[in-house]
Copies of this chain bind each other. A is one copy, B any other.
Amino acid sequence: MGSKRDVEAERRKQILDAAEQVFARRGFDQARMDDIVAEAGLSKGALYWYYKSKDAIIRALLDRIFAGDLRQAGELAEASGSASDRLRLFVGRVIEEYRRLERLVPVVYEFVALATRPGPVRDTLVGYFRRYREIVTQIIRQGIDAGEFEPCDADAAAVSLISMYEGIALFWFFSSDLVDWDRMAEPPIEIFLAGLRRMGG
């Protein structure tokens, strides 16, 4: 049993989990290494043994949150079924993802704020958005080719769709009392699909 490896993995997870909590609570800059240490139940030395710096923790967290490879989502581009259904599926997965990351939203916006300026965080997020966009663009294009959707700027439409849910997530965060996912899941995609659909078709 690779117990050495296991301990290392365990410790790293412990630290990242703790950092997540603390960063969500205070933001990157206001978070103190001591907070993370306390939250993780480790010692300062132990923390620095596994991560060389605060920045290293932030980068590790960035990966853990945004480096998922969207493979599942990507498969949708090549799956069978109508483009509409595949977009519905896609949106369902995105929402699922959002729900999963719920308590991380503060950290996500912390990253967004950082990504505002050049650097590795920005690069990661740019890539993340590009991949999503490519997938959705491809599905919409297939819908147009198949005569399911009106001809249109598929890329602009893709950006619109992703943006809509991205924006709803932000909105939700500022009015969770008024907006809830159960209610906000269907209408947007249905309006959007209706807008894309070839009517006379």
By a beta-carbon cutoff of 8 Å, the part of chain A in contact with chain B is 24-30, 105-106, 109-110, 112-117, 122, 125-126, 129-130, 133, 150, 152-153, 155-157, 159-160, 162-168, 170-171, 173-175, 178-179, 183-184, 187-188, 190-199, 201
Contacts and interface: CB of A to CB of B under 8 A. Distances in A.
Contacts of A175: 126, 129-130, 133
Interface of chain A, main secondary structure: helix
Given A163-B163, A163-B166, A109 B117 contact: no
A27 B114 CA distance: 8
A187 B194 CA distance: 14
Contacts of A179: 159
Nearest to A160: B188
Contact of A183 (B29, B156, B197): B156
